[in-house]
């Protein structure tokens, strides 16, 4: 496909006005516009128009991307946008130089620029359509103090339809740009599209399907804090895309990409959508030394045991009050701490403490999620250690400590005798 034409000035047969003509592939003259006696060179008008459009797109890249691209990662999008502008500019400049140096040049470089332009225009058009479909069919939600539109099953269906249409259109434009008519004549355009789909469907089809199932279930939304089978850390869902899901690891702030099929086929726990209003139920196991019995009769020992249990209860109540008074500790203040003796071991009694953390809010900020899932349990454990000393309930398993001390004494005596 060449955009260079040699214009011929002639006179119209009927009214005698001047017109510009060009020769077609068969050598026949085709009439072109002629304005006020000035010959229009289509090739140079085309170059000038494309150059002006390219400069405008480069200058206004930031507002254009900002309008149709939600989220905080606009900088990479702007860089890619401007990189295409710069690349097209250089291809355009080399094409003009080649036209000057070689009259028979067929605009190969410019066709490469058109191909890049067609591909990126298709990608950007899909982004615009996706933005409009979210505005029309998506869920409007407040996340981290700002209003966002999140994808739904119906908006994703619109995205898929638009993506297929843009893909077919882009392939056809590329065929026209490179004048590949022989391809259309031998296989047919629809045959090319069908062949591409058949050869690549195993790569993208399962992930697109599972992504649709995730959206249709409405159990996982952007900003939800989740746990994944086989992973010890918790993750924030940043975005469910076509073939993969972007996750944030709240423990180390890593950005994680996981294919939709891998995510959907495993067991997922959603900490932002709990089964109870009580919140997340947490458990701490504390080993407290056995009571040294002093009573001689069963009644005396029963009294001693009641005092022992009361000390444990007072200990737990003191920790509960301290955590409720701490504004940074996100425990559920509407649910009291629970404690039960769950194991009687050889050297200590295991007391299990149960408390509830407030439901983790939807967020894309890992620090907010850590406040609930990491900092709060640590604050609770700190209070348990503090009040264990205050209430004289050592957590060091006294009988083991005494045994260790006796073993060290024996070893020291043995060394001295040697």
Pick from 120-129, 234-243, 408-417: least confident: 408-417
Residue 45 neighbours by CB under 8 Å, 6+ apart: none
Task: Give me 139's structure tokens.
Answer: 């869920």
Q: What is the pLDDT of residue 43?
A: 60
- Spacing of C-alpha 303 from chain mean position: 60
Token pair of 161 as six digits: 């339809």
Give the Cα separation of 29 and 6 in Å (integer): 11
In the block, residue with structure tokens 């995510």? 263
Strand, coil or helix: 126: helix
Q: What does the pLDDT average to over 257-268? A: 91
| Separation of alpha carbons 2 and 177, rounded Å | 9
Q: Of residues 202 and 370, which shows the higher confidence score?
A: 370
| Residue whose entry in the numeric block shows the structure tokens 């700190």 | 382
- pLDDT, residue 112, reads 81
Distance CA(110)–CA(4), nearest Å, equals: 11
pLDDT band at 8 (very low <50, low <70, confident <90, very high): very low
> What domains are defined for the chain?
280-402 (3.30.70.100)
238 Cβ contact list (under 8 Å, min separation 6): 222, 245, 246, 247, 248, 255, 364
Query: pLDDT-derived band of residue 386, with 50, 70 and 90 as boundaries?
Result: very high
- Cα–Cα dist 105/2, whole Å: 9
* Helices 42-59 & 61-68 angle (0-180, nearest 10): 70
CB 207 within 8 A of CB 242: yes
Strand partners for 271:
none
pLDDT of residue 80: 81
248-271 CB burial, b ≥16 within 10 A, e <16: bebeeeeebebebbebbeeebebb
Q: Which of 38, 50, 52, 51 is nearest to 9 (CA)?
A: 38
Is the predicted pLDDT of residue 396 greater than 90, yes or no? Answer: no
Higher pLDDT, 29 or 286: 286
Q: Identify the pLDDT of residue 356.
A: 96
| Torsion angle of the four alpha carbons 60, 62, 68, 69, in this order, in degrees rounded to the nearest 10 | 160
Residue 115 has pLDDT above 80, yes or no: yes
pLDDT one-digit tens code per residue, 44-92: 677 778 788 888 888 888 888 777 766 556 777 788 888 888 888 888 7
The percent of residues in the chain predicted with pLDDT above 90, rounded, is 38
Identify the residue with better confidence: 339 or 147: 339
Cβ 355 vs Cβ 331: under 8 Å:
yes
DSSP per-residue string spanning 181-199: HHHHHHT-HHHHHHHHHHH
The yes-or-no verdict on residue 168 having pLDDT over 50 is: yes
Note if the pTM is more than 0.75.
no
Lowest pLDDT segment from 91-95, 229-233, 365-369, 378-382? 91-95
Quick one: CA dihedral 351, 352, 358, 364, positive or negative? positive
CB 341 within 8 A of CB 289: no
Please state the rounded mean pLDDT for residues 153-171.
Answer: 91
Q: Which of 46-50, 146-150, 180-184, 314-318 has the highest mean pLDDT?
A: 314-318
Helix, strand, coil percentages for the chain (3-state, nearest 5): 55, 20, 25
**According to the model, what pLDDT value does residue 40 have?**
45
The pLDDT of residue 397:
63
Q: How confident is the model at residue 251 (pLDDT cuts 50, 70, 90)?
A: very high
pLDDT confidence bin for 95, thresholds 50/70/90: confident
Q: What local confidence, expressed as pLDDT, does residue 29 receive?
A: 45
pLDDT-derived band at 318, boundaries 50, 70, 90: very high
Nearest by Cα to 156 from 63, 257, 66, 245: 245
> Is residue 357 scored above 90 in pLDDT?
yes
Q: Which residues pair with 245 in a beta bridge?
A: 240, 258
Give long-range contacts, CB 8 A cutoff, 24+ apart: 196-199.
Answer: 196/171
Q: What is the pLDDT of residue 123?
A: 83
What was the pLDDT predicted at 399?
55
- What distance in Å separates the CA atoms of residue 402 and residue 408, rounded to the nearest whole number? 10
Is the pLDDT at 5 greater than 60, yes or no? no
Mean predicted confidence (pLDDT) in 10-16: 46
Contact (CB, 8 A) for 399 and 288: no
pLDDT at 369: 95
Q: Is the pLDDT of residue 326 over 90?
A: yes
Distance of CA 120 to the CA centre of its chain: 22
């Amino acid at each position: 496909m060449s955009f260079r034409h040699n214009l011929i000035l002639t006179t119209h047969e009927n009214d005698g006005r001047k017109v510009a003509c060009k020769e077609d592939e068969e050598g026949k003259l085709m009439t072109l516009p002629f304005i006020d006696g000035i010959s229009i060179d289509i090739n140079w008008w085309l170059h000038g128009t494309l150059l002006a459009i390219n400069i405008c797109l480069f200058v206004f890249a930031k507002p254009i991307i900002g309008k149709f691209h939600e989220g905080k990662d606009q900088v990479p999008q702007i860089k890619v946008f401007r990189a295409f502008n710069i690349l097209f500019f250089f291809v355009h400049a080399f094409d003009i130089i080649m036209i000057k140096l070689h009259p028979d040049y067929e605009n190969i470089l410019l066709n490469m620029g058109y191909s890049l332009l067609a591909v990126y225009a298709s990608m950007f058009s899909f982004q615009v359509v996706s933005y409009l479909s979210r505005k029309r069919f998506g869920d409007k939600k407040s996340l981290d103090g700002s209003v966002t539109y999140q994808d739904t099953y119906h908006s994703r269906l619109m995205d898929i339809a638009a993506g297929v249409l843009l893909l077919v259109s882009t392939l056809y434009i590329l065929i026209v740009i490179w004048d590949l008519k022989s391809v259309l004549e031998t296989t047919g355009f629809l045959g090319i599209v069908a062949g591409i789909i058949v050869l690549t469907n195993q790569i993208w089809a399962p992930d697109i399907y599972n992504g649709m199932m995730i959206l249709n279930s409405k159990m996982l939304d952007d900003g939800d804090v989740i746990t994944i089978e086989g992973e010890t850390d918790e993750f924030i869902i940043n975005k469910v895309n076509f073939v993969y899901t972007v996750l944030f690891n709240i423990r180390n702030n890593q950005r994680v990409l996981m294919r939709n099929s891998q995510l959907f086929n495993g067991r997922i726990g959603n900490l932002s959508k709990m089964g109870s209003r009580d919140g997340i139920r947490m458990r701490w196991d504390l080993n407290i030394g056995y009571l040294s019995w002093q009573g001689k009769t069963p009644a005396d020992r029963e009294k001693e045991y009641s005092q022992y249990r009361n000390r444990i209860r007072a200990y737990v109540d003191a920790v509960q009050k301290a955590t409720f008074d701490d504004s940074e500790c996100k425990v559920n203040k509407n649910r009291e701490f629970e404690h039960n003796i769950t194991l009687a071991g050889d050297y200590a009694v295991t007391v299990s403490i149960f408390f509830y953390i407030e439901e983790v809010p939807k967020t894309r900020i890992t620090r907010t999620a850590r406040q609930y899932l990491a900092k709060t349990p640590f604050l609770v454990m700190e209070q348990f250690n503090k009040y264990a000393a205050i209430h004289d309930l050592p957590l060091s398993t006294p009988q083991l400590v005494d045994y260790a001390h006796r073993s060290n004494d024996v070893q020291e005596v043995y060394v001295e005798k040697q």
